[in-house]
Amino acid sequence: MERSFLMVKPDGVARGLVGEVISRVERRGLKIVAMKMLRIERKLAEQHYGEHRDKPFFSSLISYITSGPVVAMVVEGKDAIKVLRTMIGATNPGEAAPGTIRGDFALEVGRNVVHASDSPASAEREISLFFDESEIMSYSRAGEEWVYEE
Ligand code: IDP
Ligand code: MG
């Protein structure tokens, strides 16, 4: 099993899309093993998006992500990182396929509703930025035997 970091960004929270995102994750068979609502502080935002420090959109990205509460999650399941990236859709919602979260709920790259880790290394780094190991739960979901072959 793999873990990824998933976050409903401030626009997603403000637009009432938290339940929509969560229900898609649950329906897929993935398991939410940690979750919290928080207002991201500037320092955490700059750490989280450190790879984009030199990009022209960095300061607007930091303003966006710190502009209101977010809902941060750790999601577990087979190929969780790749599966969530497919479910959220292309970074630019204008290019995101219908059926993806961004393709169904967004129009602009600077208001693209969700974040999901893009690799195992990012997932590990992002999970540890937002969660203590003690906040990550271990439990069985009913029906898992019908999601996984064995
Ligand atoms: P990702 O969120 O799909 O992983 P990244 O390239 O890692 O996309 O960019 C991080 C975030 O930065 C995007 O989700 C988006 O909010 C913002 N962003 C990326 N490119 C642009 C841009 O060209 N203009 C404005 N914001 C951008
Ligand atoms: Mg990214």
CB 49 within 8 A of CB 62: yes
- CA dist 136 and 134 (Å) reads 6
In whole angstroms, what separates CA 44 from the centre of its chain?
A: 15
Comparing CA positions, the residue from 70, 73, 78 lying closest to residue 22 is 73
pLDDT the model gives residue 51: 97
pLDDT the model gives residue 66: 98
pLDDT the model gives residue 150: 87
Which whole number is the average pLDDT over 121-144? 97
Q: Is residue 145 part of a domain?
A: no
pLDDT the model gives residue 99: 98
CB 32 within 8 A of CB 24: no
Q: Is residue 146 part of a domain?
A: no
Tokens 């396929």 locate to 97
CATH number at residue 44: 3.30.70.141
Q: Is residue 92 part of a domain?
A: yes
The model's pLDDT over 39-74, given as tens digits with 9 standing for 90+, comes to: 999 999 999 999 999 999 999 999 999 999 999 999
Question: What domain range is 122 assigned to?
Answer: 2-134
Q: Is residue 43 part of a domain?
A: yes
Domain count of the fold of the chain = 1
The alpha carbon of 62 and the centre of ligand 1 are apart by a number of angstroms equal to 11
Which whole number is the average pLDDT over 83-110? 98
Q: Is residue 49 part of a domain?
A: yes
Instruction: Return the percentage of the chain with pLDDT > 90, whole number.
Output: 99
Classify residue 75 as left (phi > 0), alpha (psi -120 to 50) or beta.
beta
Q: Is residue 122 part of a domain?
A: yes
The alpha carbon of 124 and the centre of ligand 2 are apart by a number of angstroms equal to 13
Check whether 132 has a pLDDT greater than 90. yes
pLDDT the model gives residue 137: 98
Q: Is residue 143 part of a domain?
A: no
Judge if the beta carbon of residue 57 lies within 6 A of ligand 1: yes
Q: Is residue 86 part of a domain?
A: yes
**pTM score, two decimals?**
0.98
Q: What is the mean pLDDT of the chain?
A: 98
The answer to whether 48 is a known catalytic residue is no
